[in-house]
Amino acid sequence: MLFNKVSFALTALLSSTVVMMSGCATSLSSTTSNTQQQSQNALLVYGGPILTMQGMQPSYVDAMLIQDGKIRYTGTLSEAEKPAPQAKRLNLNNKTVIPGIIDAHSHLNSVGMQQTVANLYPPPDGKVVSIATLIQEMKAWAKQNPTFV
């Protein structure tokens, strides 16, 4: 099934967001009582590397089955197809799915900066809660660093 650009973007976002939960994925039985219903609520992602991060090492699988908004299976394409043979399909065309909801940025430059300038941040990073405490912190810093200015 072809997806328009919006559907593809939303599907890709959903897939990359929920793939972080792949460590919680369970093995699926190939027999179902309501295969058609399960297939209607399912998305089969395949056709590119799917990074699952099982444990501390990168782990790649060939396919991921999402049903009712939850990752139900990660592994081989043939096994992912069994529980929901009529699932919508998303071919990654060699694009990679990675775990989502990861805030991997840092402010390392702030660590060094804190030693060279007055800390004028509000709590919890600093003490400034008003104009009066701002002035107080500036005076205290200037007293401790008289040659800076």
CA atoms within 13 A on the CB side of 107: 5
Cα gap 52→20, rounded to integer Å: 7
Q: What are φ and ψ of residue 80, in 5° steps?
A: -70, -30
List, as own/partner pairs, every contact residues 61-65 make where C-beta atoms lie below 8 angstroms and the sequence separation is at least 24, other chains included. 61/22, 64/15, 64/19, 64/22, 64/97, 65/28
Domains of the chain, earliest start first: 5-91 (2.30.40), 111-144 (no CATH)
Tell me the pLDDT of the chain (149 aa) as tens digits: 333 443 444 444 444 444 444 444 444 444 445 555 555 689 999 999 999 877 778 889 999 999 998 999 999 999 999 999 999 999 999 999 987 766 667 777 777 777 788 889 999 888 999 999 999 999 999 999 888 76
Fill in the amino acid letter for 73.
Y
102: tokens are 């990861």
Sign, CA dihedral 127-130-134-135, equals negative
Whether the predicted model's global pTM rises above the 0.75 cut? no
